[in-house]
Structure 1
Amino acid sequence: MTQNAETAVVPVSNGKRLLNELLESSRSLPYRDSDLGSIQLGINELRKRAHELRKNTIEIKSEENYTKAHYLLAGKVSIDEVASNIKSLENNNVLEPRSKINTQQADLDSYLRTKKDENILSAIEQSLSATARDFDNFVNQNISLDWKQRRDEIRESFGIVLNKQASHTDSKSQNGNGNKSISWGKSFKLSEDNTSKLNVNANYSTRRKFERYAKVVNELNNSRQFTKTLENADSEFDLANEFIQIYQNGSDSKSRQLYESWQIIANVNKGNFKSTNEKSFKNQVVARSRTFLELQFFEYADAIYKKKVTEKGLPTIINKIKSFIDSQKLNANGNLLVVNGTPIWALIFYLLRAGCQEEALNLVLEHQSVFKKVEQSFVPYFKAYVSSQDKRLPQPLVTKIQNEFNHHIKNSIDGDPYRYAVYKILGRCQLSRRNISNIALTIEDWLWMHLMLIREDSQVDYDPIHEKYTLSDFQEIILSYGNNKFSSNYLQVLLLSGLYDEAGKYALETDEMDGVHLNIGLAAYGLLQKSTQETVNKTKGARFSKLLGSYVESFKFSDPRIAVEYLILICLFPDQIETCHEALRELVLETREFAILLGKINAAGVRVPGKIEQRKSLINLENDFLNKITEQAAITADKEGRIYDGLLLYQLSEEYEIVISIVNRLLGEFLSNTELEQSLVDGNSETNPILIAENFLSLYQDISVKNKEICKSLLKIAEIRQYYLEKDWDTTLKKIEELEILPINPNSDLGTTRLKAEELTFLNENVLKNVPNLLIITMTCVAQKNEQINSGPFNGGIKDDKLKELRLVAKNCVIFAGMVQYKMPRETFSLLIGLEALL
C-alpha cells in the first residue's frame, strides 16, 4: 500500500516531467462528483465512464477496510504511522487526496481513449468527404450532359409531343396553325388553371353512373363503326334516347333538367338534318326548338284537361286549350274580348302556342262575323299566315298589318293584350320592342314568342334594320341575361336558342360527368361542329379534345379499354385526328396495357388485334401508325427493363430480329441465374423463357441464321440441365461434348484446350455466361461417374482406363478454366479445384 502511494506521488525520473504536466493538467478536469460539464461525450462513453467511476468508488472504500495483516508484510515499518503522515500531508495540501488522484487518472485515461477514437473517426469522415468531393468534381469536369434536353430528345424520338411553340414532331401535322396539335395527358385541361378532380371510383354510386355512361358510349362507337362499314346512314344510333332512359326516372331537379335537355337534343336532331349551310342550320334550330316548346305546352294543357274529371265535352284540342285558359283564370281580366264565355284572342294565342295552327284557323273562320265587326281584315291575315309554308305574310299584307298595328293596336290602352300578341306574331310588328306586356309568360312562353319572331331567310335583307331579328340577336339577349335570369332552366334555354357551346360549358360547371356526356352528345349530332357561335369555331375541336383527355385522366389506368372508347370520339372533329392519335399513343405508353390496347400473339402465332386496332375505322388508323406506336412502346418497355412487354410489342411490330435477340438474352440470363438443382420448365408458356424460345423458333423462320443458332445452343444447354437433374451423367457429358464449347474429350491436348479457351472470345455473351455452369456440371458428372466406377463391377484394367479418362477430362476442364478464369466467378474456379481433388 505504501509503495502504491509513493508511486503516485513520486514518479520515476525519466517520466517526471511528463507526469508533472499531466498532473497539472488534471487539476482542471472535473471530479467524479462534478456534472462533467466541460467534456462533451457520447451516451456510450458516459455509460462506460459511469461504470469506471463506480468501480473506483468501490476500490477506495475497500482500501479503508485493510486489516492488521499488513504488519506481517511490512516488517518493522509502522503502517499506521505512514498512513498518519500521508494524511497530514494531504490535509496541508502538500499532496493531492489519493481518492482524487485515482479518479483523475481514471478520468484522464478514459478521456484520452475517447479523444483517440474521435480523432480516428473524424479522420475517416474527412477522408470520405474529400473523396466524394473529388468524385463530384471529376464528374462535373468530365461528364457534361443536359439531362432536360436529353429527356426531351428521348420523348420526341418516341413521338410524344412537347409543349413548344414549334410545330408537331410528326411532319404530317405541320401546317399553318403551327402548334395546332396538343399533347394529351396532363396538358389536357378544361382551362389553363383547372384540371379534372373527378374520381370515377370514389364510391359505388359514382362508379355505377360511370359504367352506365361508358356502356352508352361503347354502343355509340359500335353503331358508328357498323354504319361506316355498311355506309348506311339509316342505322344511326339513337344516342339521345339512351340518355333519356337514364334520366327519365330521376326525381331531383338536376335529373329533370338533364332529361329535358336530352329531349331538346333529340328533337333538334329529328329527321337526321345534315345541312352544312349555316343559314339552313339556323332555321333548323329555330324551327325544331319552336316545335319542341309547342309540343311541350300541348302535353301540359292535355295533362290539365285530364285532371278535371268534371270537364264536359269531347276531348278536342279546342276544349283542352279552353281547359287550360280556365285554369289560368283569364276571364277575370276585363280587357279580354269574350265570345260565348271564352276569351277569343287568348284562345287563338294559346292554340298557336300549342302549335295547333289549323285548329286556330278553323276557330277564326267559325267566328268570322265577330272578327268582321271588330277586326275586318284579320281573317285574311290569319288565313294567309297559316297557309304560308314559311309562316310569313306576303309583302303587301305585311305592310298593311304593320300600319294597322301601329295606328290602332300598339297604343290601345284598353285593348286585348292577346290581340296585341297575335298581331305581333303574324306581322312581326315593332320588333324593336319584342316583349308583351299584360300577359304572364313563363320562360317557355317567352322563348317561344321570340322564336316566332326570328327570321334567317333571304327576305330579311329587305327589312329595315330596326325590323331585323335573327337568331344571333336572340342569343346575345340570352347571354346578356345569364344564369340568374333563368335559374334552373338555363341549360334548356341555351340549347333551345342554339347556344350549344355555352350549354356544354355550363353543364360541365354543374356536374363534370354529366357535362362531358352532354358535350359528347352535341358533338355526335354535329351540333358543336355547326354551332351558330362563329367566334369559337377555330377552338371547338381543341376544347373538345382537352375535355375528353381530362375526363379520361380519371380512369385511364383502371379502365384502359373504356379510355380508348372516349378518346376515339376526338375524331368527331375532323381537324383533331392527329390529336386523337397522339392521345392514344400516350395512353399506351402511360398505362402500359399493351396486350389490351395493341393486341397480342396467340399460341398459334396469330396476331389478336387490340382495342385500338379494333376501332381503326373510326380514327383513320393506318398500319404505319400502328406499327409506329407499337415500336415506340416496345422501345420504352425495353429501356425500362420490361422484357415480356418488349417481346410482345416487337412481335406486334414484326421486328423478329429484335424479338429473337431479346429471347436469347432472356434465356441466357435465365439459365445462368437458375440453380443447377432447380427445374427449368414450369409449364407457363407466357413467362418461361425456354417455352417462349421453343415456341418462337417453331412459329417464325424468317430470322438470321446467327440468332437462330444462338437460340438453339441455349436450348441445348437447357436440355443438358434437364439430363443433369435426372442424374443421367453419360447423356449429360455426351450433350456437352456436342456443344463443342468445352474440351471434355480425354484425347484433347494442351493446344486444343488453349484453342477452345480462345474461341470463347467469339462466343455470344448469352451463351458465354453459361460456361461456368457447364464446367460445374461437367466436373460433377465426372465425379459421379468416378464414384460409380470405383464401386461398380469393373476389373482392374478397364477400371483404370475409365478412371484415367475421367481424370483427363477433369484436368482439361481445370486447365481450360484457368485460361479463362478472368471471366469466371471465383466460386466456380474454387469448386472445380475441389471436385478435381476428389478424383
Structure 2
Amino acid sequence: MTNRESHFSASQHPFLYFQVLFLTAQFEAAVAFLFRVERLRSHAVHVALVLYELRLLLKSLGQSAQLLSQEPGDPPMIRRLNFIRLLMLYTRKFESTDPREALQYFYFLRNEKDSQGENMFMRCVSELVIESREFDMLLGKLEKDGSRKPGIIDKFAGDTRSIISKVALEAENKGLFEEAVRLYELAKNPDKVLELMNKLLSPVIAQVSVPQSNKERLKNTAVAIAERYRSQGTAAEKSFNSTFYLLLDLMTFFDEYHAGHVDRAYDVIERLKLLPLTQESVEERVAAFRSFSDEVRHNLSEVLLAAMNILFTQYKRVRGAPAGTPGRSQITIEDRGMQLRSQARALITFAGMIPYNMAGDTNARLVQMELLMN
C-alpha cells in the first residue's frame, strides 16, 4: 500500500480514497484502485466505460502494459490505464458461462487494436466463440435452405461475414476442423468448406460404417453439404469440388463393399474410372492418377485391395457355379473367369506404375490374391 493509501485508510474506506483520486482528475488511478477490491470490481469497470465513452480516459499505448502504467515523457503524476486489459480481466470470470454478457463489454473495444493491428472486438469475439462453443447463439445458424439465422453478433456488427470468417480461421488454426467447416459455410466460403471436409473425410472413408461413429457423423455432414450445394448451385474451386464428390463416391464404394454387396461395389468403382479394369486403360489411369489430390491418393491402397478382393470374390463365385450357369454378362463361365483374371492383372500393372509409395505390403497382397485366381 502506498503512503497516500495509508494516509486515507484506503483499505477501510475505499470509496473515500476513490473520491479523492477521482475528484482530483486522477481517473486512471481511481479506476485501477477500485478494480483491486474484488467486491467493487464491477463499479471500477463501469466507471471506466463511462470515462472511455466521454474520451476522458488516458489509455496505455500497448496491450501488454500493466493495468496502470506510465510512458516515457509523461509528467510525474500522469498514469495510463490499460483499458483493454481491464475489460478482459473482468470478463474472464463469466465469458464462458455467460457469453452474451461478455459480448456487451467486448463491443466497447470495437475501435481498439492490439500490437499487431488486429481489431480487439473481432479478436475477443473469436476467442469467446471458440471457448464457449456457443456457435449458433453467437454467430447464427445455417438453415436447411442455406439461409443464415442471425445470431447475437448481428446486434453489434454490420459486417458479420468478416467476423464469422475470423472465428472460422481461428477454429481451423486450433485444429477444430468440424467447427471450422460449419463456420466457413455460415460465412459463404465453399472453397474452405470443401477443403476442410476433404481433409476430414480422407482418413475415414475406408472404415466400416458404425452408428454413432466418427465416419457416420462426417458422412452425414458431407451428404448434407453436397445436397445443399447441388440444390443452390454452389460450387467451390474445381480441385476441391472434384475431390469432395470423388471421396463421397468412394465412401459409397466402401459402404457397399463392407456390407458384402460386391456387385454393387464393383459397379461403383467401374463407374468412377479410378482404376483400370482392362490392360488397355492402364496407362490412361496412371496418367489420370497424377491429377488426384493427396486426400484421394491416401486411400489408394485400400481401394486397390478392396477392388482386388471383389474380383477374387466374383472369381470364386464364377468358378463355383454349376455348368451351364450364365455369367454376369451372359458369357461362359470360362470366359468370365479369364476376364476377371485380366482385370486383376490390370490392377497389378497399375499398382506397379503409379508414382506413389503405397502402404506396407499392399503390392504383395495384391499379387497373392491375383495368384489365387489362376
TM-score range, shorter chain: 0.7 to 0.9
1:199-243: CA deviations, max 9, x gaps?
A: xxxxxxxxxxxxxxxxxxxxxxxxxxxxxxxxxxxxxxxxxxxxx
Q: Are 2:41 and 1:508 equivalent residues in the alignment?
A: no
Q: TM-score normalised to the size of structure 2?
A: 0.73
Match for 2:246: what amino acid?
A: S
What amino acid sits opposite 2:235 in the alignment?
A: I
Letter in 2 for 1:584: F
Cα deviation, residue 658, structure 1 = 1.9
Three-state SS of the structure 1 residue aligned to 2:319 is: helix
Aligned to 1:717: 250
1:483 aligns with 2:8: yes
Structure 2 residue 153 is the aligned partner of structure 1 residue 622:
no
Distance in 2 between residues matched to 1:821 and 1:485, nearest whole Å: 77
Other-structure match for 1:788: 317
Are 1:601 and 2:142 an aligned pair? yes
**Hey, what does 2:209 align to over in structure 1?**
679
Instruction: Select the residue among 489, 501, 518 that pairs with 2:43.
Output: 518
CA–CA separation in structure 2 for the residues paired with 1:800 and 1:486: 100
TM-score by length of 1: 0.35
Match of 1:699 in 2: 228
Corresponding residue for residue 76 of structure 2: none
**Within 5 A, what are the aligned runs for 1:67-82?**
none
Distance in 2, matches of 1:480 and 1:682, equals 62
Structure 2 residue aligned with 1:736: 269
CA–CA separation in structure 1 for the residues paired with 2:359 and 2:96: 44
Cross-structure match for 1:323 = none
In 2: Cα distance, 1:485 partner to 1:791 partner: 97
1:560: Cα distance to partner? 4.2
1:825, 1:530 → 2: CA distance? Answer: 66
Change (3 A) 1:505 1:661: closer
Q: Distance in 2 between matches of 1:562 and 1:718?
A: 44
Give the whole-Å Cα distance in 2 for the aligned partners of 1:779 and 1:713.
20
CA distance in 2, matches of 1:486, 1:727: 78
Q: 1:803 to 1:692 in 2, by over 3 A?
A: same
CA contact (8 A) 1:548 1:566 kept: yes
Question: What's the secondary structure of 1:669's corresponding residue?
Answer: coil
Equivalent residues of 2:112, 2:121 under 8 A apart:
no
Aligned counterparts, 1:8-23, within 5 A: none
SS at match of 1:723: helix
Which whole-Å CA distance do the structure 2 matches of 1:529 and 1:589 have between them?
Answer: 24
Name the residue aligned to 1:752. 281
Q: Distance in 1 between matches of 2:353 and 2:190?
A: 37
Other-structure match for 1:667: 201
Question: Where does residue 68 of structure 2 map in the other structure?
Answer: none
Q: After superposition, where does 1:307-326 map in structure 2 within 5 Å?
A: none
> 1:761 is aligned with what amino acid?
R
Measure the CA separation in 1 of the matches of 2:359 and 2:99: 46
State the distance in 2 between where 1:528 and 1:764 align.
Answer: 53
- Name the % identity: 21
Q: Which has the larger radius of gyration?
A: 1
Counterpart AA for 1:659:
V
CA distance in 2, matches of 1:486, 1:739: 78
- Tell me by how many angstroms 1:811 deviates: 1.4
Give the secondary structure class of the aligned counterpart of 2:281.
helix
1:550 aligns with 2:80: no
Among candidates 585, 604, 620, match of residue 122 of structure 2: 585
1:304-338 Cα deviation digits (max 9, x unpaired) = xxxxxxxxxxxxxxxxxxxxxxxxxxxxxxxxxxx
- What is the total number of aligned residue pairs between the two structures? 332
CA distance in 1, matches of 2:348, 2:303: 12
Structure 2 equivalent of residue 658 of structure 1: 192
Where in structure 1 are there 5+ consecutive unaligned residues? 1-478
Provide structure 2 residue ranges, at least 5 long, that are not aligned to the other structure. Answer: 61-79, 326-330
What does residue 345 of structure 2 align with? 811
How many Å apart are 1:488 and its aligned residue?
3.5
Within-5 A mapping of 1:240-389: none
**1:643 corresponds to which of 168, 177, 184:** 177
Does the aligned pair in 2 maintain the 1:516–1:548 contact within 8 Å? Answer: no
Q: Distance in 2 between matches of 1:609 and 1:754?
A: 53
Distance 1:506 1:632, change over 3 A: closer
Tell me, what secondary structure is at the counterpart of 1:807?
helix
CA distance in 2, matches of 1:631, 1:724: 39
SS in 1 for 2:366: helix
SS of structure 1 residue aligned to 2:332: helix
Structure 1 residues 705, 559: CA separation in 2 closer, same or farther (over 3 Å shift)?
closer
Report the alpha carbon displacement of residue 752 of structure 1 after superposing the two structures with TM. 2.4
Q: Tell me, in whole angstroms, the C-alpha distance in 1 between the residues paired with 2:11 and 2:290.
A: 84
Q: Contact between 1:743 and 1:813, CA under 8 Å: does it hold in 2?
A: yes
Task: Report the Cα offset of residue 577 of structure 1.
Answer: 2.9
Partners in 2 of 1:638 and 1:485 — Cα distance?
48
Deviation at 1:822, TM superposition (A): 3.9
Question: Is the Cα contact below 8 Å between 2:141 and 2:151 reproduced in 1?
Answer: yes
